[in-house]
Chain A
């Protein structure tokens, strides 16, 4: 990328009557493979380079971007962003929470450089997964796999003296399979993500995981029994605990939602100024601490500085069951009289950075998984989920089990067919009485913003036990 053009855009922005200006430039080298039912549909390889300016002027914000790297274009987008900022004519002027300029150059190390891995190797890796999966004696009637490598350089500078360069390689994969036995289909979706190099493949063990999923689906079709509705104990595996932490803690704790800025798309939050829930309100049991931490090494949501140049750190959202800290960017932090905690992310140079999660999970406890299960007389172990959703104030949610088992006197018995938890955020987190010490992360793509920005995150976490929740 041509940093001189980006610097020129910032310099030109500074010549106008602005309260603040920043330039963010990206260069992304991206490859994506798509395979359907064993055939490689497409190998996509591209390089995208562009930059944006964001200007705060007259209490309004304007943003403009381009992928044309010329001084004329840089001037043109600065002029547009400045005009848009002035056009807002806000009653309540926008300000940004104070920060000192930062200078940094950071990168994620790769043990085995993903960019050096030959296309043949990438293709072979994907084909072998499919080949192994279809030779296990399970009728995996439909398979779709995608595989992505994204190598992203970013350059950020602002009128407060920040100059930050970064390099993040990310590897991701998705698998969606349909097993049909006795004429009945069951389906599973699995996502993998990693910040780092090709060594990710060793850690993921995609083939083993997808074969395991196929066998689970076969078992569900052939053996699973319906659950008798009623109140019972439920043990949620890391996959389920993770989606619950993401949906009913991470999202409602995003300060832009709390302030209404996402109201017409991703929605609001059950937490709002003057409402029954705020900082200090109990929302779960004392064993529940949920954090969002961008600094988990090699995590899919890893970063060291956010897209406003703020140093990343762990954020303790629910702490010992109490609402503790919102996710902020500089705009929301200023409105709520605090400091940004580095949660501002943009998926690309042509999107504004907004408040986002990174890696959201329940803090591990001190129990083994055996100890958690052995104290359940009758209940369900929901190891993974299929359908899930939550209302747009992030209070009423539903998780449907994909791999689930009946527990009797601490022992796993038969498979259970699609058990359903449908409850509220407060009931869910208040029912938790035990948390395991072992953590297992799941990769996900979190959607928010308009236009939609899907950002890489980890969910997952430890195993958790809920007492006396209604299942059907």
Chain B
């Protein structure tokens, strides 16, 4: 048994000795490094080390949580936590945590990620790739993030395990002119195959095509979404499958289990696989994670659950705890049968949207929302990019959009950036019919 597991177990034992019904402790030793750059130069490189144990405890259906740093003041922290539990209020919907000796896939972090000797080289490789595509005047900015986490989980109810996670992400936005930009990302759980130049080339290529944009025109369009934009859409739809969001009506999927919610060609899964920057082997209760089909051929198959929400819905946990709210780990849309070129060919007059941000809802239950395309926005006519546009907004309905998906590409890309395409996903190009675009009135 590792020392970290032993100390984590000590916390659990303290909690039980105090009288807690259930105790879960999860220790994370995290090592994070991030280089931020803009104007083709490095602005800052930051390192943060975290030594933290998240502790959750239940007593007579009262659920309380705390964090213990670097195994300090364990007795004091646990006593305080238990005292809070004793004066807390019973939650009738609390359904306990997972029980039993559970087995996990063996996880292995790529230690080379933490040893990335010169992150600046990766950054400059991406910048140069962007400049080769979009020209020497190109101005690029972004981040390179490396993450190494050793996670040790012990539950009084049986689960005990280790998870060693690694991730490396590069996000680059390149501007060929003031209002002509492109964005590319490169995400991986290992350094093997990690290619910063690929993200730079993508950003540069879009930035080159985006030159001299004109103000966009309002209307309904068929739209081809780039995988980066699709990543934001998958995150939006996927997060709404959490049972918690359903219970508080932060979801378009309320009362829709087993019903058709999307076009027949849509299958959406949560797959915390080893390639993903969202990889893991157990959830926050110590339940082994697994692949879950959220939408299968257009039909809503399941909500995402922890033990408590599963009991409310009379089903099994899906391995997506979140102790309070279940959450997706890493989304995948199943590949379709089209190539990107075939999608463009199918569009007589439409748009190719490469990225978006600032997605906000009028009403989560009905799905009315808007989001603002950024970076390359292209008018397609007769299958070809005709013009670069700017200053338009996608103002539509999240449920209607799912039903209007008309094509999915064979190729997919692993994408994650900032808070806009989060959780990470394996996203295809998506062809969608009849999307409402609006523009500002001056």
Q: How far is the CA of A50 from the CA of B139 in the complex (A)?
A: 36
Let me know if A88 and B244 touch, CB within 8 A.
no
Stretch at the interface among B3-11, B82-90, B100-108: B82-90
Let me know if B440 and A424 touch, CB within 8 A.
yes
The 8 A CB mask of B417-440 against A (1 = contact, 0 = none) is 011000000000000000000111
The contact of B248 among A44, A178, A265, by CB within 8 Å, is A178
Let me know if B442 and A67 touch, CB within 8 A.
no
Given A64-B47, A388-B360, A422-B441, decide whether A39 and B93 contact each other with a Cβ distance below 8 A. Answer: yes
Contact of A336 with B by CB under 8 A: no
The contact of B91 among A39, A44, A46, A389, by CB within 8 Å, is A39
Given A263-B175, A390-B358, A422-B441, decide whether A67 and B374 contact each other with a Cβ distance below 8 A. Answer: no
The contact of B38 among A60, A120, A263, A389, by CB within 8 Å, is A263
Let me know if B47 and A391 touch, CB within 8 A.
no
Say which size band chain A's interface belongs to.
35 or more
Of B64, B371, B441, the most chain A CB neighbours within 10 A belong to B441
Let me know if B66 and A389 touch, CB within 8 A.
no
Given A389-B371, A423-B440, decide whether A84 and B45 contact each other with a Cβ distance below 8 A. Answer: yes
Residues of A within 8 A of B440 (CB): 396-398, 422-424, 427
Stretch at the interface among B268-276, B289-297, B361-369: B361-369
Residues of A421-462 at the interface with B, using a CB-CB cut-off of 8 Å, are 422-424, 427, 447, 450-452
Q: How far is the CA of A423 from the CA of B395 in the complex (A)?
A: 14
The 8 A CB mask of B41-56 against A (1 = contact, 0 = none) is 1111111111110000
Q: How far is the CA of A153 from the CA of B366 in the complex (A)?
A: 43
Q: How far is the CA of A444 from the CA of B173 in the complex (A)?
A: 28
Stretch at the interface among A97-105, A136-144, A280-288, A299-307: A136-144
Q: How far is the CA of A187 from the CA of B361 in the complex (A)?
A: 10
Given A42-B324, A43-B84, decide whether A186 and B47 contact each other with a Cβ distance below 8 A. Answer: no
The contact of A389 among B118, B365, B372, B391, by CB within 8 Å, is B372
Of B44, B49, B178, the most chain A CB neighbours within 10 A belong to B44
Residues of B within 8 A of A427 (CB): 440-442
Residues of B266-322 at the interface with A, using a CB-CB cut-off of 8 Å, are none
Let me know if A396 and B372 touch, CB within 8 A.
yes
Let me know if A352 and B46 touch, CB within 8 A.
yes
Q: How far is the CA of A85 from the CA of B46 in the complex (A)?
A: 9
Q: How far is the CA of A264 from the CA of B200 in the complex (A)?
A: 12
Contact of B136 with A by CB under 8 A: no
A-B contact pairs, 27 of them (CB 8 A): A40-B62, A43-B65, A50-B69, A61-B45, A63-B44, A67-B69, A77-B47, A81-B47, A84-B44, A84-B45, A123-B89, A141-B249, A142-B247, A176-B248, A186-B363, A261-B36, A265-B143, A265-B171, A265-B418, A387-B360, A387-B368, A392-B358, A396-B372, A398-B393, A400-B362, A422-B439, A450-B418
Chain A residues engaging chain B, CB cutoff 8 angstroms: 34, 36-37, 39-50, 52, 60-69, 73, 77, 80-81, 84-85, 87-92, 94, 118-120, 123, 127, 141-144, 176, 178, 185-187, 259-265, 267, 272, 275, 350, 352, 386-393, 395-398, 400, 418, 422-424, 427, 447, 450-452, 469-470
10 additional contacts (CB under 8 A) given A46-B66, A68-B70, A142-B247: A41-B94, A45-B64, A178-B248, A187-B365, A387-B368, A388-B360, A391-B372, A391-B393, A450-B143, A470-B441
